[in-house]
Amino acid sequence: MRPFDDATRRNIANACATFTRAPDAARPQALKRAAVAVALTASGEGDTAFLLTLRASSLRAHRGQWALPGGRCDEGETPVEAALRELDEELGVKLAGDAVLGTLDDYPTRSGYLITPVVVWAEASTAIVPNPQEVASVHRIGLDTIEREDAFDFIAIPESARRMIRFHLGGSLIHAPTAALIYQFREVLAGRATRVSELEQPVFAWK
């Protein structure tokens, strides 16, 4: 268990600082920059959790899917700035730059985005007010949930030579890119520099 306190914040910040992001690889120029927030806050039991959303059914893209708060970078915006802005727009969580603990590897999606995960710390007292136009529901997922041995699995699909990752959350299956980003965060917490850019997405997410 990881209590939501200053010691846990320091430990996670140190883990992020120790992690070395993969060097920028040659990516198609058509990929659009995007960012998501791995937003850490208190669970209902006082342990550390991250915020996971279910996207609104009215959205044009990836509606009804599980996702970390985030979206496309605006013109001239850095991934960190975009992650903080999207966290505010989607969940009403306003954080300053000193809340950022680190960044993980970029993940290229089949749908044409290059996603940068930004790890941020939100105080326990932070109010969460989901924007109903973007978010159907928001959930606090305890870090112990992703650290279970059976939290993730990897399967083969006929459409790709790459392994597809799945995150088991209750009765739901969460796929890449979200599952891949959460998995790498789990590995960083354990002190492992595990790369995830080649983990496959389900075919329904390729568009």
Identify the band that residue 57 occupies on the pLDDT scale cut at 50, 70 and 90.
low
Give yes or no for residue 95 having a pLDDT over 60: yes
Report how far residue 186's alpha carbon sits from residue 168's, in angstroms, rounded to the nearest whole number.
14
Task: Identify the domain containing residue 45 by its residue range.
Answer: 6-145
pLDDT tens digits for range 113-163:
999 999 999 988 888 999 988 898 999 999 999 999 999 999 999 999 999
82 contacts 34 by C-beta, under 8 angstroms? yes
Is 150 inside any structural domain?
no
Please name the amino acid found at residue 197.
S
Is 139 inside any structural domain?
yes
Instruction: Report phi then psi at 12, rounded to 5.
Output: -70, -40
Is 138 inside any structural domain?
yes
Domains in the chain, number: 1
Identify the band that residue 65 occupies on the pLDDT scale cut at 50, 70 and 90.
confident
204 forms beta bridges with: none
**C-alpha angle 124/188/3, rounded to 5°?**
30
Report how far residue 201's alpha carbon sits from residue 134's, in angstroms, rounded to the nearest whole number.
22
Report how far residue 169's alpha carbon sits from residue 139's, in angstroms, rounded to the nearest whole number.
11
Is 14 inside any structural domain?
yes
Q: Give, as one character, the DSSP assignment of residue 77.
A: -
pLDDT of residue 124: 80
Is 173 inside any structural domain?
no
Query: The domain spanning residue 118 has which CATH number?
Result: 3.90.79.10
Is 203 inside any structural domain?
no
Nearest Cα neighbor of 132 from 57, 45, 28 is: 57
Instruction: Report phi then psi at 99, rounded to 5.
Output: -85, -10
Nearest Cα neighbor of 90 from 122, 112, 42, 113 is: 122
In our burial notation (b when 16+ CB lie closer than 10 A, e otherwise), range 165-200 reads bbbebeeeebbbbbbbbbbbbbbbbeeeeeebbebb
Is 120 inside any structural domain?
yes
Is 171 inside any structural domain?
no
Residue 140: count of CB within 10 angstroms of its CB: 19
pLDDT tens digits for range 1-55:
799 999 999 999 999 999 999 987 656 667 999 999 999 999 988 899 999 998 7
Which pTM was predicted? 0.94
